[in-house]
Chain A
Amino acid sequence: MKSSHTVLLDNGLKHPASGTRRATLTWLILLGLTTLSFRLSTAVSGSVLMFTVLGLTLIKGHLVTNEFMGLRHVRWVWRLVMAIYLLSVGSIIAFAYLSA
């Protein structure tokens, strides 16, 4: 376990600024996407709205898990598990809305 901490430490020390910049960028994108979803809710409706907002939400979810939760750095299995989760929740919702 110690070694993994060292890796993160090395990484952080090598490019202290780039990690921060990347996180800030992610944060700004998340804010932007949230605003976009919010604006869309009054602009469009129906399945167009559903698919766009759902798509935006999945992108946001991917950003949070990959960048914020740090899954970018871990074994691919965990990323796969999370991706499957997001995709299945998304597709179940889409399916339910279309079947209405």
Chain B
Amino acid sequence: MQQVFTKAMARNIFLGGAGFFLIIYLLLAYDSFQQIPIRDHAVNLTPSVLRGKYLFDTNDCIGCHTVNGEGAYYAPELGNVYKRRGPEFIKAWIHAQPSGAPGRRQMPNFHFNADQLNDITAYLQWLSNIDTNKWPPNIEG
């Protein structure tokens, strides 16, 4: 039996299996990219949202927070924060950081002006409307 089960055969199974499932994955990924703009209503990616996203990325927000569960687990989920807190609370909160409360986790002050705060909030609003298959289970994220 050992002689029949050759290394060449094992290699062919590796190459065949890998190629086969790569094709399957690529087809699925193609289909996903057709669906995603509908599920996340990409039409609403306004210039303000995109400016907000740029601020979000270049201040490394996911270095502490999560967005739809992805990022670091040091600070609350932001995918649904717009629905949890509302725009005014968010702006006031970002503006008031850091709290300086002893021992409590601190968020830096990013020195955003009023326009930038609006952009960030617009981005968070856009995030909160993505169809995430009903995740998170509740508003607390």
Residues of A in contact with B (beta carbons under 8 Å apart):
1
Residues of A within 8 A of B3 (CB): 1
Query: Chain B contacts of A1 at CB under 8 A?
Result: 1, 3-4
Q: Quick one: closest A residue to B1, CB to CB? A: A1
| Residues of B contacting A: mostly | loop
- Give the distance in Å from the alpha carbon of A1 to the alpha carbon of B1 in the complex: 7
Interface size class, chain B:
under 10
CB of B42 to closest CB in A, whole Å: 38
Q: How far is the CA of A1 from the CA of B4 in the complex (A)?
A: 8
Q: How far is the CB of B82 from chain A (nearest CB, A)?
A: 39
Give residues of chain B (75-98) contacting chain A, Cβ–Cβ below 8 Å: none
Which A-chain residue is minimally distant from B4 (CB atoms)? Answer: A1
Contact sample, A vs B, 3 pairs, CB 8 Å cutoff: A1-B1, A1-B3, A1-B4
Distance (whole angstroms) from the CB of A88 to the closest CB of chain B: 24
Measured between beta carbons, the chain A residues less than 8 angstroms from B4 are: 1
CA distance A52 to B1 in the complex (A): 40
Q: How far is the CA of A1 from the CA of B2 in the complex (A)?
A: 10
CB distance from B4 to the nearest CB of A (A): 6
User: Using an 8 Å CB-CB cutoff, how does the interface string of B1-31 with A read, 1 for contact, 0 for none?
Assistant: 1011000000000000000000000000000
* Nearest CB in chain B: distance from A3 CB, A: 12
Minimum Cβ distance to chain B for residue A6 (Å):
15
Report the bound CA distance from A70 to B4 in whole Å: 18
**Which residues of B10-61 have CB atoms within 8 Å of chain A's CB atoms?**
none
Q: How far is the CB of A67 from chain B (nearest CB, A)?
A: 23
Complex: A1 Cα to B5 Cα, angstroms: 11
Report Cα–Cα, A77/B4, bound state, in Å.
19
Q: B2 CB to closest chain A CB, in angstroms?
A: 10
- A1 to B6 alpha-carbon distance, docked (Å): 13
